[in-house]
């Protein structure tokens, strides 16, 4: 299946001399409003040159978010979980326990000022992560995200295993990706995920792989460094919105 993004050079390392990207893993569930507030603060600090780039890995309580292209008709069960308007691109998506959300705050001025390339790089990151578990993730020309083929379900069947929704402000990215490790897949039934009715959703555990969140985090970090460059661990107890780091 030919995809134009397959031909894009997806490595996006920072310019030489840039500090490593901070890698932070939240040690408790994070509310969506708190996550957005912290991203806003960090993105402003990165743009001002007073904070380092950061990838922030979180889990959320069960909730739905509506991107800027969300169709109200795709919110099938509006009273099931809290629904939050989101400034990211895309449509409705679900976040909840067992799903790893990675908020990606990178300065494209230090990399490549090309949003299309950035999206392709995020897809490459996810595909590389899945490859660590011998799962073949694929991109699709007509829809963003990463997909796996499910021929055992039906000829031509495929399911989404990871979603992408981003926003860029002053060439600093935020929002990011979500990878289904072991979420309750029934929770996706309250929406039409990303507005796509003809395909389903899956997870690593649904594919029969006994992957823990810690396993997924290790694979995510290794694949991220292949695409975007070096990372450095920042303890979760450090203030998430601190602008004290030297850029």
Residue numbers annotated as active site: 194
128 assigned ligand-binding residue: no
Q: Is 177 annotated as a binding residue?
A: yes
The response to whether 90 counts as a known ligand-binding position is yes
Whether 145 has a binding-site annotation, put simply, is no
**Which are the contacts of 134, defined by CB distance < 8 A and separation ≥ 6?**
none
Is 176 annotated as ligand-binding? yes
Is 93 annotated as ligand-binding? yes
Q: Is 64 annotated as a binding residue?
A: no
Enclosing H/E stretch for 161? strand 158-169
Q: Which of these, 124, 164, 143, 151, lies nearest to 207 by C-alpha position?
A: 151
Q: How many CB atoms lie within 10 A of CB 230?
A: 13
Q: Is 164 annotated as a binding residue?
A: yes
163 is in an annotated binding site: yes
Q: Give the span between the Cα atoms of 65 and 68, in whole angstroms.
A: 10
Integer Cα distance of 120 and 113 in angstroms: 13
**Residue partners of 34: CB distance under 8 A and separation at least 6:** none
Count other C-beta atoms under 10 Å from residue 75's C-beta.
Answer: 18
Instruction: Please check if 89 is assigned to a binding site.
Output: yes
User: How many other CB atoms sit within 10 Å of the CB of residue 208?
Assistant: 6
Binding residues: 88-95, 163-165, 176-178
- Please report, in range form, the residues annotated as the binding site for substrate: 88-95, 163-165, 176-178
């Amino acid at each position: 299946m030919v995809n134009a993004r397959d031909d894009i050079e997806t490595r996006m390392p920072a310019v030489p001399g840039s500090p490593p990207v901070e890698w932070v893993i939240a040690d408790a569930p994070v509310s969506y409003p708190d996550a957005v507030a912290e991203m806003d603060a960090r993105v402003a600090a990165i743009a001002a040159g007073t904070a380092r780039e950061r990838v922030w890995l979180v889990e959320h309580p069960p909730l739905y978010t509506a991107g800027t292209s969300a169709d109200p008709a795709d919110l099938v069960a509006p009273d099931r979980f809290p629904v939050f308007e989101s400034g990211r691109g895309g449509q409705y998506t679900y976040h909840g326990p067992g799903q790893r959300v990675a908020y990606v705050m990178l300065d494209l001025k230090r990399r490549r000022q090309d949003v299309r390339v950035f999206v392709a790089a995020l897809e490459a990151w996810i595909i590389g992560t899945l490859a660590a578990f011998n799962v073949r993730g694929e991109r699709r020309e007509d829809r963003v995200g990463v997909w796996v083929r499910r021929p055992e379900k039906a000829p031509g069947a495929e399911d989404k295993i990871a979603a992408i929704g981003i926003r860029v402000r002053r060439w600093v990215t935020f929002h990011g990706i979500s990878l289904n490790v072991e979420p309750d897949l029934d929770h996706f039934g309250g929406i039409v995920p990303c507005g796509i009715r003809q395909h389903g959703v899956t997870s690593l555990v649904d594919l029969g792989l006994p992957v823990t969140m810690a396993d997924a985090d290790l694979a995510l970090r290794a694949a991220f460094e292949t695409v975007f460059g070096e990372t450095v661990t920042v303890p979760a107890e450090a203030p998430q919105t601190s602008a004290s780091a030297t850029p």
